[in-house]
Amino acid sequence: METGNNVSNSKKVTLSGLLLALVVITLFLATVSPVNEMSLYALSSFFVSVVIIELGIKAGWAFYAASCLLSLIIPNKVALIPYIVFFGLYGIVKFYIEKLSKLALEYILKLIFFNIFVAVTVLYLNQLIPEGFQRYSMWALIVAAELVFVIYDYAYTLFIQYYRHRIRNRLRM
């Protein structure tokens, strides 16, 4: 992701504020929606990449921190965990990994990041999973989750390309 550095302070504040509002809205919808939670978490994760493209990686980190803090106004704090520990952070991780410009290594590192998230999730949620389900289906679920992650990463890349080629010019940043 390229980063832009020639943006006035008022445009930075405006863009960041608008995107923060969109993150909070999508996270709120993810916490109250009985369906599509993961899609809404994924959508909320795309906004950090816009900040990185327009304002740089330091602003991306600040945006991530601000979005985590601001999202705490949402009543269901537990439902924010996927965003705070994975989805919100993924745009930043993706930025650093893709600077390597070695596709195979990039996917290995991205899968390692994702599998750390999955391992922590499984360790903490293990008591909630029925015993028979734990023995036989856990590995199948992990493999399925990895496939979904690869699709998510591809969709994220498509979003970044779409933003750069179609949306960015219209913002006049």
Mean of pLDDT values over 150-156: 98
In a domain, 47, yes or no: yes
Distance CA 138, CA 159 (A): 31
The per-residue pLDDT for 125 is 72
Q: Which residues contact 93 (CB under 8 A, 6 or more apart)?
A: 110, 113
Count of other CB atoms within 10 angstroms of residue 97: 19
Which of residues 139 and 10 earns the better pLDDT score?
A: 10
In a domain, 117, yes or no: yes
User: Is the pLDDT at 7 greater than 80, yes or no?
Assistant: no
pTM, to two decimals: 0.87
Is there a contact between 49 and 159 (Cβ–Cβ < 8 Å)?
Answer: yes
User: Is the pLDDT at 26 greater than 80, yes or no?
Assistant: yes
The alpha-helical segments, DSSP class H, found in 56-130 are 57-70, 81-82, 88-98, 103-125
In a domain, 134, yes or no: yes
The per-residue pLDDT for 135 is 61
Contacts of 69-73 with C-beta under 8 Å, sequence gap 24+, read 70/20, 70/23, 70/24, 71/23, 71/24, 71/27, 73/24
- Residue 92, both tokens: 């930043």
Q: Which residues contact 5 (CB under 8 A, 6 or more apart)?
A: 56
Q: What's the domain count of the chain?
A: 1
Q: What is the pLDDT of residues 44-89, one digit of tens each?
A: 999 999 999 999 999 999 999 999 999 999 999 989 999 999 999 9
Distance CA 127, CA 70 (A): 30
Q: What is the pLDDT of residues 99-149, one digit of tens each?
A: 999 999 999 999 999 999 998 888 887 665 656 656 667 788 889 999 999
User: Is the pLDDT at 171 greater than 90, yes or no?
Assistant: no
Q: Domain range for residue 92?
A: 9-171
In a domain, 78, yes or no: yes
In a domain, 29, yes or no: yes
The per-residue pLDDT for 115 is 96
The per-residue pLDDT for 52 is 98
